[in-house]
Amino acid sequence: MSSALPSQLPGSESRHPSVAEAPDASDVRSGLRCNEFQAYVQPKFDLKSQTVQCVEVLARWQHPLRGLLSPATFIALMTREHLLDELLCSLLEQGLSCQVELHRQGSEIGFAFNLSLQQLTSEVLVANLISRLLEHPLPLSSVTLEITEDATASVSPSVLQRLARLKAVGVRLSMDDFGMGHSSLWRLSQIPFDELKLAGEFTHQIGHSPRARAVVRHALALAGELGIPLIVEGIETEVQRSILMELGASYGQGYLCASPMPASSLGAWLHSPRDRPGARIPRLFNSGLPIGAVGQSYPKM
């Protein structure tokens, strides 16, 4: 997609902001109403065989003027405007529908969705999630909720109760960005997670930092002791994959395997030849930056 867009459409001065301006709250609300926020997916893969059993659902905004926008453009704004719940419900609907269609085609793929601890303070959201999940015709063990945190997040008794209710319907819980910020050992002891996702910051340093390698090694040992898998995020090079395999890692996620792609493209991607990792990386945001730029990260959702 071209990064060269007009700053103003002819005759639209009274109706549209300049493309050069950042989207505002009314723009985001309009995008939600018009279903402009699309579910993209990124595979989690077996480091040895490169087979894919699960994908993480991510948000992209197909803006009518600005083109395809990354979460860095809108997640902070949506958080301030309390619109993340609406976005999550849209992504859940798109993702579950895609999962059902893939199952019909013979591909049994798990789908993972990001849910913040802050969102879990909403009883209405959790009730809506449970209601929608119970309508899903596939086993809910194929659905994972990746629990993300922010600086204001806390785990109150009511939040723990809501997590227990979600787990009781059959979904899996994953601790996202393990090793960073508030994603701590204490949190791990509070919540019955089924999976750990090690933050990609460690992967980016693993080739030159013995300390980063030590963290990965001990995280793997901890996950093994708990009897749950550890997914290593941020894998972008064959060197990183080789080192991780030497350390004992089995599963990963990152641009080496695949860049985020529209959920509607996943079926074709799964059935296409993938002789080498990363063969489908080149996709462009309207910023002109590749989605798979090494070391680049975006807010989750």
**Residue positions annotated with a catalytic role:** 233
**Residue 135 to residue 94: CA distance in whole angstroms:** 14
Any residues with CB less than 8 A from the CB of 227 and at least 6 apart, and which? none
* HSE toward the beta carbon, residue 41, CA cutoff 13 A: 27
Strand 37-46 and strand 261-262: pairing? antiparallel
Provide the 3-class DSSP secondary structure of residue 58: strand
**Residue 134 to residue 130: CA distance in whole angstroms:** 6
The three-point CA angle 187-189-192 to 5° equals 95
Q: How many other β-carbons are positioned within 10 Å of the β-carbon of residue 249?
A: 26
**Residue 169 to residue 147: CA distance in whole angstroms:** 16
**Residue 232 to residue 228: CA distance in whole angstroms:** 13
The three-point CA angle 284-289-290 to 5° equals 55
135 neighbors 92 (Cβ within 8 angstroms): no
Of residues 84, 95, 102, the one with CA closest to residue 29? 84
Any residues with CB less than 8 A from the CB of 212 and at least 6 apart, and which? 202, 203, 205, 206
Residue type, 223: A
What is the distance in angstroms between the CA of the first residue and the CA of the last residue of the chain? Answer: 22
